[in-house]
Amino acid sequence: MGKIVSRRIHTFAICWLLLGATAVQAGTIFGSKHDLSLGTTNQVCGYCHAPHNASTQAGLAEAPLWNRRITNLDAFTPYTSPTMTETCPTRPSGISLACLGCHDGTQAQAAPGYTPVSPPANPGANGNSATYGGDQHNAINPGVSGGGAPPNCTRCHNTVPADGIYSKAQIVMGGPDLRNDHPISMQYPLANTNFVAPPDAVKGWGDVKLYYGKVECPTCHNVHDPTNAPFLRTTNNGSVLCLRCHNK
């Protein structure tokens, strides 16, 4: 009996330490552009993550307990170049699709002051009208944007009521046309001498990450840490972040 109790205490201690480590790691999101909560009125993490009943949408399997849907997973035009030795897929990997769920150019299509794209990228998701908004407002579980407590709209919009555009629209929107953005979801070109060989071909460097050997949005961005704007994993002074991969 004593051994069982001891084992339970040991297990509880491990879980507590893991929980504490996660809290410390994600702590800097509070007050950042990715904190969509209204102070103490609703959850911070819940705008992106769901501990239960998370998304099982095909293509988002790699997203960590994701609380959002993407209306059209195949709405994207990938980056291409005649000098590339690797190819970006038409549908980005789940880890980047998670980011594109908010940064894919979907907006409140019918909001005043916004000229709709024709055809819109991912309009009115989840059966909602275009006026309601697209993927950014498409939470699966209630209590956050898309059902329940309202989000802090000023994190993304200039004014309240929201004017239908991001405060820095051309900066924060990555797509769906990705031809003018850094390539994503491609295998890191290990055989190309124009690139630095990472210490781990699957996971990359200690700070700059590869995901299953691929370059993804969070390769360069840490969505939980705004220390290096815009959420860069390291400073890019002197292009040091770029030169981590590019041998030029």
- What pLDDT does residue 239 have? 96
Average pLDDT on 146-160 reads 60
- What pLDDT does residue 37 have? 81
pLDDT in tens, 167-190: 444 445 666 788 888 999 999 999
Which of 186, 208, 212, 175 is closest to 101 using CA atoms? 175
Q: Taking 90 as the threshold, does the pLDDT of residue 88 lie above it? A: yes
**Residue found under tokens 């594109």:** 100
- What pLDDT does residue 248 have? 78
Global pTM exceeds 0.85: no
pLDDT in tens, 28-73: 788 888 888 876 556 788 888 888 888 888 888 888 898 887 777 8
Band (pLDDT 50/70/90 cuts) for residue 150 is low
Band (pLDDT 50/70/90 cuts) for residue 76 is confident
SS (H, E, C) 86-154: CCCCCCCCHHHHHHHHHHCCCCCCCCCCCCCCCCCCCCCHHHCCCCCCCHHHCECCCCECCECCCCCHH
Q: Taking 80 as the threshold, does the pLDDT of residue 220 lie above it? A: yes
